[in-house]
A = this chain, B = another copy of it.
Amino acid sequence: MGSTAKEETRIADALCKAVLERRLAPGSKLPEEELAQIFRSNRAKIRRVLLSLSRYHIVTLEPGRGAFVSRPSPQEARDVLASRRLIEVSLLANPHRSLSAEGAERLRKIMAQEAKAHADHDAAAMIHTSGQFHLTLIEELGNTVIKNIIEELILRMSLIITLYERHNTTCCLSSDHNDLLDLLLAEKHAKASALMARHLEGIESCLDFHREPASTTILSQILKPV
Closest Cβ neighbor of A82 among chain B residues: B96
Chain B residues closer than 8 Å to A54, beta-carbon distance: 4
Chain A residues bordering chain B, tally (CB within 8 A): 31
Instruction: Give per-residue flags for A45-83: 1 if the beta carbon is below 8 A from chain B beta carbons, else 0.
Output: 000100110111000010100000000000010111011
Tell me whether B143 and A82 are in contact (CB under 8 A).
yes
Q: Contact at A83–B52, with CB atoms within 8 Å?
A: no
The dominant DSSP class at the A interface is helix
Given A52-B55, A55-B55, A90-B90, A143 contacting B4 (CB threshold 8 A): no
Which residues of B lie under 8 Å from residue A96 when comparing CB positions? 82, 86
Q: Name which residue of chain B comes closest to A80, CB basis.
A: B145
Is A90 a contact of B86 with CB atoms below 8 Å?
yes
Which chain B positions have C-beta within 8 A of A55? 52, 55-56
Over the window 81-122 of chain A, the binary record of Cβ atoms lying under 8 Å from chain B Cβ atoms (1 yes, 0 no) is: 011001101110110100000000000000000000000000
Q: How many angstroms between the C-alpha atoms of A78 and B143 in the bound complex?
A: 9
Query: A86 touches which one: B48, B80, B91 (CB < 8 A)?
Result: B91
Which residue from chain B places its CB closest to the CB of A156 in the assembled complex? B145
> Which residue in B48, B79, B94, B145 is a CB contact (below 8 Å) of A143?
B79
Least CB distance, A143 to chain B, in whole angstroms:
4
A206 on the B face (CB < 8 A): no
For residue A140, give the distance in angstroms from its CB to the closest CB of chain B: 13
Please name all residues of chain B whose beta carbon is closer than 8 Å to the beta carbon of A79 when the two chains form the complex.
Answer: 143-146
Nearest-CB distance from A31 to chain B (Å)? 17
**A214 beta carbon closer than 8 Å to chain B:** no
In the bound assembly, the distance between CA atoms of A83 and B153 in angstroms comes to 15
CA distance A91 to B56 in the complex (A): 22
7 contacts between A and B (CB under 8 A): A5-B63, A51-B51, A76-B145, A82-B96, A82-B143, A83-B146, A86-B146
Which 9 pairs, one residue from A and one from B, show the smallest C-beta to C-beta distance? Answer: A90-B90, A79-B143, A55-B55, A79-B145, A83-B145, A83-B146, A4-B61, A80-B145, A82-B96
